[in-house]
A and B are shown apart, each in its own frame.
Chain A
Amino acid sequence: MYEEVTGSLVQSYNICKRQVWLMAHQIIPDQEHPYIEMGRLIDDISYDRDRKKINFENVVIDLVRNDNGNLLVGEIKKSSKAVESARLQLLFYLYKLKQSGIDAKGQLFFPDERKKIDVRLTSESEMEVVSAINEIRDIINMDKAPAFKKIPYCKNCGYKEFCLS
Chain B
Amino acid sequence: MKKPVYIFSDGELHRKDNTLYFEGENGRKFIPVENTSEIMIFGEISLNKRFLEFISQSEIILHFFNHYGYYIGSFYPREHLNSGYMILKQAENYIDEKKRLFIAQRFVEGAYRNIRQVLKYYQNRGKNLDDIIYAIERLGDLIAGTSDVNELMAIEGNIREYYYKSFDEILGNSDFEFDVRSKRPPKNSLNVLISFGNSLMYTTVLSEVYKTHLDPRIGYLHSTNFRRFTLNLDVSEIFKPIIVDRVIFTVVSKNIIKKDDFDQDAEGLLLKDRAKMAFIEEYENKLKTTINHRSLGNNVSYRRLIRLELYKLEKHLMEEQEYTPFVAQW
Contacts from A to B (Cβ < 8 Å): 2, 25-28, 30-32, 144-145, 147, 160-162, 164-165
Contact = CB atoms under 8 A, between A and B. Distances in A.
B319 A144 contact: yes
B318 A165 contact: no
Which 10 pairs from chain A and chain B are nearest by CB? Answer: A26-B83, A165-B308, A165-B311, A25-B85, A162-B311, A164-B295, A164-B296, A165-B312, A27-B83, A27-B213
Given A25-B83, A145-B320, A162-B314, 10 more contacts: A26-B83, A26-B85, A27-B83, A27-B86, A28-B81, A28-B83, A32-B2, A161-B296, A161-B311, A165-B312
A27 to B, nearest CB: 5
Given A162-B311, A165-B308, A27 B2 contact: no
Contacts of B296: 160-161, 164-165
Interface string B11-50: 0000000000000000000000000000000000000000
Interface in B298-322: 304, 307-309, 311-312, 314-315, 318-320
A147 B320 CA distance: 8
Interface string B195-227: 000000000000000010100000000000000
Nearest to A28: B81
Contact of B318 (A31, A144, A164): A144
B124 to A, nearest CB: 29
B110 to A, nearest CB: 14
A164 B304 CA distance: 13
A28 to B, nearest CB: 6
B314 A27 contact: yes
B147 interface: no
B1 to A, nearest CB: 8
Nearest to A155: B297
Given A25-B86, A27-B85, A160-B296, A32 B211 contact: yes
B126 interface: no
A26 B311 contact: no
B295 A26 contact: no
A83 to B, nearest CB: 28
A30 B211 contact: yes
A50 to B, nearest CB: 24
A28 B314 CA distance: 12
Nearest to A2: B85
A30 B309 CA distance: 14
A158 to B, nearest CB: 12
A18 B315 CA distance: 13
B84 interface: yes
A144 B308 contact: no
